[in-house]
A and B are shown apart, each in its own frame.
Chain A
Amino acid sequence: MNTLDQLSELQLDALTEIFNIGTGRAAASLSDIVGSEVVLSVPRIQFFQSSEVNAALLSLNSPRIGAVRQIFSGSVNTNALLLFTEDRALEIVRDMMGSQLSTEELVEFEQEALSELGNIILNACMSAMSDLLHFTLHSSLPTYSTGPTETMLRQIIAQTDQPTMLLLHIDLTIEKHQSQGQLIFILSSSSFHELLAHVDQFIANI
């Protein structure tokens, strides 16, 4: 069953626009941090069953990936993850920290810098959602992990018995570094239906 089939064109449009606002806010923060323009693609949303998710589906064609994970709770409970290919991660950290740092120093800051990056992007998306749909969300601190792509994905899927995954694809270019990030929001069936009820309310209020 593909839960995407349950969504009307208008529901999908509203959700995409909410994430567009979220990633726009995130890009503004990132741009302030790295001191250059961050070019964003129009976000694309897809829904999947957890069991369907694999590296090819996520277009993560890299042997290793990094993941920043944060748990949001409230009306809608979601396990939110930012996934990115590891080879780009150090370049982004270099942009964030300034180019005068040595590679050794960069590696030392990697975990902290990428947790902060995830924190900015995930919170921007979720706060746009809570602002526009009028509900309150609490977030956990971000955790960062890295490993072989398939192992990481198996762990992410195994750690949840929640069936629905909302996938958000964004292409993000910082100056000359082209980087693709995937955001994953893992939702239980009840949270998924709660989210759609809020989206319907939002549309009804127009």
Chain B
Amino acid sequence: MEFMTQPDARVLLIVDDSRVSRMVIRTLVLAKHPQWIIIEAASGDEALTIVDRDTPNYCTMDINMPGMIGTEAAAQILAKHPGTRVAIFSANIQETHQTRAAAMGACFVAKPVTGKTVAQALDFFESAR
């Protein structure tokens, strides 16, 4: 966690197969935290590789993606890097996914990506600081 010494420079990994969703999350987060470093991944597998390499502080994770589903990728990330704060950001708002997110210690945020829902994720991220 080399970024801990610079309290303002946090690293956020955005995982979503939709480029538009990644763009909206990135824009809304940078509006509030212009100093944050943002990394993007378009799949769960790509996210796992990035997490091992860059150890982000925070991660937003979509569920319905081609390949590994987001809840599985999030579970694997949290098992290996329990310090990462993960917000599951999904259109799939069924109870099962919300329960699974809570059980792994992640926060569940229902899409669409808006100022309000991004604020929910940011509150969760920063409650750890």
A contact residues vs B (CB 8 Å cutoff) = 9-10, 13-14, 16-17, 20-25, 27-28, 31, 37-38, 40-42, 128, 131-132, 203, 206
| Cross-chain contact A13 with B111 (CB below 8 angstroms) | no
Which chain A residues border B66 with CB–CB below 8 Å?
Answer: 42
B contact residues vs A (CB 8 Å cutoff) = 17-21, 23-24, 27, 64-66, 90-96, 111-112
| Cross-chain contact A37 with B94 (CB below 8 angstroms) | yes
Which chain B residues border A22 with CB–CB below 8 Å?
Answer: 91
Which chain A residues border B23 with CB–CB below 8 Å?
Answer: 206
| Cross-chain contact A24 with B93 (CB below 8 angstroms) | yes
Looking at the complex, which one of A9, A14, A31, A40 makes contact with B64 (CB distance below 8 Å)? A40
Q: How far is the CA of A9 from the CA of B91 in the complex (A)?
A: 21
Smallest CB gap from B113: residue in A: A17
| Cross-chain contact B64 with A42 (CB below 8 angstroms) | yes
Least distance between B67 CB and chain A CB atoms (Å):
10
A-B contacts, 12 of them at CB < 8 A, read: A9-B19, A10-B20, A13-B19, A21-B91, A22-B91, A25-B91, A27-B94, A28-B95, A42-B65, A203-B20, A206-B20, A206-B23
Smallest CB gap from A42: residue in B: B64
Given contact pairs A37-B96, A40-B64, A131 touches B112 in the complex (Cβ within 8 A):
yes
Which chain B residues border A31 with CB–CB below 8 Å?
Answer: 94-96
| Cross-chain contact B65 with A24 (CB below 8 angstroms) | no
Q: How far is the CA of A31 from the CA of B93 in the complex (A)?
A: 10
Smallest CB gap from A128: residue in B: B112
Most buried by B among A42, A131, A203: A42
Given contact pairs A28-B93, A31-B95, A206-B27, A13 touches B18 in the complex (Cβ within 8 A):
yes
Which chain A residues border B17 with CB–CB below 8 Å?
Answer: 42
Smallest CB gap from B93: residue in A: A28
| Cross-chain contact A21 with B19 (CB below 8 angstroms) | no
Q: How far is the CA of A16 from the CA of B21 in the complex (A)?
A: 11
Least distance between B66 CB and chain A CB atoms (Å):
6
Least distance between A50 CB and chain B CB atoms (Å):
28
Looking at the complex, which one of A10, A16, A24 makes contact with B90 (CB distance below 8 Å)? A24
Least distance between B14 CB and chain A CB atoms (Å):
13
Least distance between B20 CB and chain A CB atoms (Å):
5
> Assuming A17-B18, A24-B91, what are 7 further A-B pairs, CB within 8 angstroms?
A9-B19, A10-B19, A17-B91, A24-B90, A25-B93, A27-B92, A42-B66
Which chain A residues border B95 with CB–CB below 8 Å?
Answer: 28, 31
Smallest CB gap from B27: residue in A: A206
Most buried by A among B20, B65, B90: B20
